[in-house]
Amino acid sequence: MKYVIATHNPGKLAELQRILAPLGIDAITVDGLTDAEETGTTFAENAYLKAALACKETGLPAVADDSGLCIDALGGEPGVRTARYAPVGQRKQTVLAKLDGLPREKRTARFVSAVSCVYPDGREITAEGVCEGYIGTECRGEGGFGYDPIFEVEDGRTFAELSPEEKDAISHRGVALRLFKQKLQEELEK
């Protein structure tokens, strides 16, 4: 069965395809999808807005993720504005500069992910996941995307230093998608 993935981010698309494939879902993208205005105040609201618009435009079940980085020392920033926090190419450096000089115990952060699926008949499935960690003091690693090179998990490695399988096992998106997969499976069995 085909589900449209409402993203232009190849990293997110690859993760969603990897996790949804075992359910028999052919996760596709469609050129020309309108970017939804992310006016929500939560990740779940923004994920729903993206999925609902993609569903409306394609007539297919649509899945969207909204995720971001919430840093305690910055009052939860960048939060729902993670992708728009600073100009492209300066986001990680902006965060590192704002936290410069803070010890690790004050660099606590979490990645949050909300996944929403909207069906043409109006049904909706939403799941959320969180991964706790720290903001490092420099970029490390070659994998991942976005803020992955500065987000450290408990063992001190960054998301960008983990294999895709290691990241999927603990990441906010991995947690959300496993819960989403369970909810989706229950929906498909109705």
Q: How far apart are CA 122 and CA 55, in angstroms?
A: 9
66 assigned to active site: yes
- Pairing type for strands 62-71 and 151-152 reads unpaired
Candidates 66, 72, 148, 155; catalytic one:
66
Peptide bond into 78 cis (omega under 30): yes
Q: Locate 171 and state its tokens.
A: 């990441």
DSSP H helical ranges for the chain? 10-20, 43-58, 91-98, 164-170, 172-188
Contact (Cβ atoms closer than 8 angstroms) between residue 147 and residue 95: yes
Q: How far apart are CA 86 and CA 94, in angstroms?
A: 7
CA distances from residue 42 to 10, 31, 49 in whole angstroms, order as listed: 23, 27, 11
Q: How far apart are CA 140 and CA 149, in angstroms?
A: 5
Spatial neighbors of 160 by CB under 8 A, at least 6 apart, are 139, 140, 141, 142, 143, 144, 148, 149
Catalytic residue IDs:
66
